[in-house]
Amino acid sequence: MTAPLHFADAREAAALAAFLARLIHYDRAAAVRLRAGGGALAVFGRPPSFEVLAIRTARLVDDGPLDVTVSAGELLDGIEESAGKAMVPGPVTGPPWTGVLPPRGGWQQLPGLPDALGLRAAVAGAIAEFRSRDAELPPERGTRAERERIGREIWSRHLPGTRVPLRTVHAAQSLGFLPGGEVPVRLFAAGPWLRLSTPYGAVVVRESGPVGLAVSPV
């Protein structure tokens, strides 16, 4: 293990633990890439159901640089919420996406994004449509492959008036980035990358295709 990370606020340790637990819910063997420097930490994860990158940030007391890919489960086990610190486990060989992160700079805000209430309504509508279409499938077509096809069709649609796939908003809500109530939400673009950002985290998607394919490593 490397030296522990010390959070500027113990509540950020708890927030990171909640984020890691959600990632593990979707993938027990999840890996995350950690980047730290200048008193800030960025944790990148990829929940497989959504084909997006999720980013959770935190403020650190430490200023030293860190760039490593580790087991999400081991990192979660090493978080001491009451002490506001986390032990960083040993590095692992990460999946391909860990070498294909979005750019650090060059982001420009885009207009036209609905507020948090509108985003949650869009997700609820898509879920309701999926359940309705699933219920209408005749027995001979009620296969996993058919359900996955319907899901891909629905979640690949763009949020009306934007370039954002619905799966991006669904991921933000599922990962706890769109909790109830008024939440500031902004949309940014940098080249082919789109980033949906809230105070609780960000979800990033590459417009030209699934994350991790046909892109240059950074």
Residue 25 and residue 79 in one domain: yes
The percent of residues above 70 in pLDDT, for the chain, comes to 94
Q: What is the pLDDT of residue 208?
A: 64
pLDDT in tens, 126-162: 999 999 999 999 988 989 999 999 999 999 999 988 9
pTM greater than 0.85 (yes/no): yes
Range of the domain at 143: 111-180
Q: Read off the tokens for 77.
A: 């086990």
Beta bridge partners of 83: none
Residue 39 and residue 124 in one domain: no
pLDDT in tens, 4-39: 899 999 999 999 999 999 999 999 999 999 999 999
Residue 149 and residue 79 in one domain: no
Q: What is the pLDDT of residue 1?
A: 57
Strand ranges of the sheet holding 193-198, from the earlier edge strand across to the other edge = 66-71, 31-37, 40-45, 53-59, 201-206, 193-198, 186-190, 108-110
Q: How many domains does the chain have?
A: 2
The CATH number of the domain holding residue 35 is 3.10.150.10
pLDDT in tens, 91-101: 999 899 999 99
